[in-house]
Amino acid sequence: MDAKPNLLYGINDNPPWYLSIPLAFQHYLTMIGAIVSIPFILTPALCMSDEDPNRGLIISTMVFITGIVTYFQATWGVRLPIVQGGTISFLVPTLAILSLPQWKCPPASELNAMNDSERQELWQIRMRELSGAIAASAMVQVIMGYTGLVGKILRFVSPLTIVPTVSLVGLTLFEHAAKTASKQWGIAVGTTAMLTLFSQIMSNVSIPIPVYRKGQGIEFRPFLLFRLFPVLLTILIMWTLCGILTATNVFGEGHPSRTDVRLKVLTNAKWFYVPYPGQFGSPSFTLSGSLGMLAGVLACTVESLSYYPTVSQMSGAQPPPLHAINRGIGTEGLGTVLAGLWGAGNGTNTFGENVGAIGVTKIGSRRVIQWASFIMILQGVIGKFGAIFILIPDSVVGGIFCVMFGMIIAFGLSTLQYIDLRSSRNLYILGLSIFFPMVMCKWIQEHPGAIETGNKTLDSTLTVLLGTTILVGGVLGCLLDNIIPGSPAERGLIEWANQMPLNADYINDGRSTDYDFPYGMNALKKYDTYLNLLTILTVRINFYYLDLKKGEEIITRSKLYRKVWFVDLME
C-alpha cells in the first residue's frame, strides 16, 4: 500500500532534517504533558517530600527511557511511528503495592523528625521495590511478544475484557485527581475549562504564522495551534496566572498553588545528569509486587495492540502482520524492563496523544519519530529541564487530571461499539466487571491485613492482586464473556476481528516491506529460503509414510512455507 494522498509524509518517507527536527520537537511537546503528570501521583505514594529535587530526576529518567525505547520500537520493533513512554496504567498496581502495611508512609510527625539521608532511604527503598516488580512483570510481556504468544492469548481477549481493564484505570484514580484539584478549585476548574475550550471548541481555529520561502519571501500560513498543543497551552496560561496571583500575594505564603512553593527543586537540580541502571539502588524482587504489577503490563499490552492498526492506517502502511505485532509487544516489554532497572517507577506504553498528532499533522514518517527519540534522550540528561515541570502548581495538574483520566475511561468505553448493547448478557457482564472491582478492591486496600493465610508472602500477594482493580475487572470480564453463552456477533467478536486482524502474518511476499528490518533483510530471507528447502526435502523423504494432508499440516505448523507451494512442488 502506498502512502495515502492526504499524507504529507508516509511511513517510509524521510523529510529533510530542517523539517524533521521541528516536527520531532512537536511530538516531544505532545508527550511531555502526559509524562510530567505521573510523578504528581507517584512521588507522594513513595513518601517523597514536595521539595525533593529527585522528583525532577524521576521525570528526567522517564523521558530518557522514553527516548531509548521509542527509537528501538520505531527502528527494530513494530516499526510504526509511535512514541513509547510512561503510562498511568501502571499507577493502579503501584498504588495497590504501596498500600501494603510495610510500604505505607509513616505519620507526618515521624517524617518531620527524619534527617535528609533517612528520608532519602525511605523513598528509595520503595522505589527499589517498584523497580523490581516492574522489571520482573515485564518479562512476561517480553516472552509473550518474542515467542509469538500474543496472537494466541488475544483470541480470548474480547471487547468485554478491554472495557473494564482500560476504563478502571481512570475510575480508580479519581480520588487522586480530586485530592490534587482541591488544592485550589478555582484554578483546577479553570484549567479543565480552558483545556476543553482549546481541544474541543477551538480545535479548528488556525493562527496565521509567518513562513519564509526561498525566492518568495515571507508569507503567512494557517497553523492549528490549539489542536496541536492544547495541554501545553493550558498549562502555560494557568501557570502564568498562578504566578501573577503569587506575585500579588493573592495566594498567601505556603499556599499549594503558589509558583514558588517548590522552587528548591529547581535550584538543587543538577544541570547535567545521565540516568543509569540502579541509580536508586539495586531493585528488589518480591512475588507479591511482581504479580501485582503484571496487571499494568497486561493492560498496556491490550491498549498498545488497539493502536497498531490505527497507526498503520494513519501513516499509509500495510496493516501490521502478526510477526510485527509480536515484535512490538516484545520490544514494549523490553522497554518496561529497562524502565524498571533505571528506576523510572513506571513502565512503557504507546502514547495515544502522539497517535492523535499523526492524524492531525498528516506526518506519518518513521524518521520524524526517530528524531524525536534523540530529543527525548537529550532532554533526559538536562536535569534542570526536568525539574522545571515539578514547579507546576498542583491545582493546575488536578485540572489536567480531570480531563486525562476521563479520556482514559472514555477510551475504554469506546470499545463498546463492537458489542450488542441491547443484550442483557453483555450488560450483566459489563456492570459486574466494572462495579465489583471498585467495591472489593477499595475495601482490600483499606483493610490490608484482612487476608490471613498464615503465610506472609501469600498474604501480600493476594492483597495486591485482589486490590488491583484493572486486574480483577479484566479477569472477571474475560472469564464471564468466555463462559456465559453468547453469539459471536452479540459478543462483538466479528467486528473486533476486523479491527485486529491477528491472522495477517504474511512474510517475504512483497506486501510487508513496511515492517522489514532496516538492515540484514537479504540475509534473513536467504536463511529463510534455505529452511524452506530443507523442510520440503524432509517432507519428500517422509512422503511415502504420510499422506498429502498430513504433509500439508507439517508445513503449516512449521510456518516456513505455504501449503500452496508444497502442492505445486508435488505436482
Average pLDDT per block of 10 residues along the chain, 571 residues long? 60 82 76 75 85 82 92 92 85 85 84 84 91 93 90 80 84 82 90 88 84 75 76 85 91 85 77 89 88 84 79 81 89 94 90 69 84 89 78 84 81 87 94 93 84 81 84 90 92 80 50 71 60 57 50 48 36 34
241: which strand partners? none
Residues in the chain: 571
Give the type of residue at 49.
Answer: S
Q: Residue 445's closest CA among 470, 460, 424, 463?
A: 463
| Interacting residues of 373 by C-beta distance below 8 A, sequence separation 6+ | 66, 67, 68, 70, 71, 74
Please state, as a whole number, how many other Cβ atoms lie within 10 Å of the Cβ of residue 58. 27
Q: Residue 332's closest CA among 94, 27, 77, 147?
A: 77
Q: How far apart are CA 142 and CA 72, in angstroms?
A: 14
Phi-psi region of 117 (alpha: psi -120 to 50; beta: other; left: phi over 0): alpha
**C-alpha cell of 80?**
510504526
Q: CA 223 → CA 7, 203, 204, 356, distances in Å? A: 17, 11, 10, 16
Phi-psi region of 360 (alpha: psi -120 to 50; beta: other; left: phi over 0): alpha
How confident is the model at residue 269, as a pLDDT?
75
Helix (H) or strand (E) holding 502: none
102: which strand partners? none
How confident is the model at residue 329, as a pLDDT?
93
- Whose cell is 480483577? That residue is 472
Q: How far apart are CA 569 and CA 91, in angstroms?
A: 56
3-state secondary structure of 101: helix
Q: How far apart are CA 66 and CA 439, in angstroms?
A: 35
Q: How far apart are CA 49 and CA 59, in angstroms?
A: 15
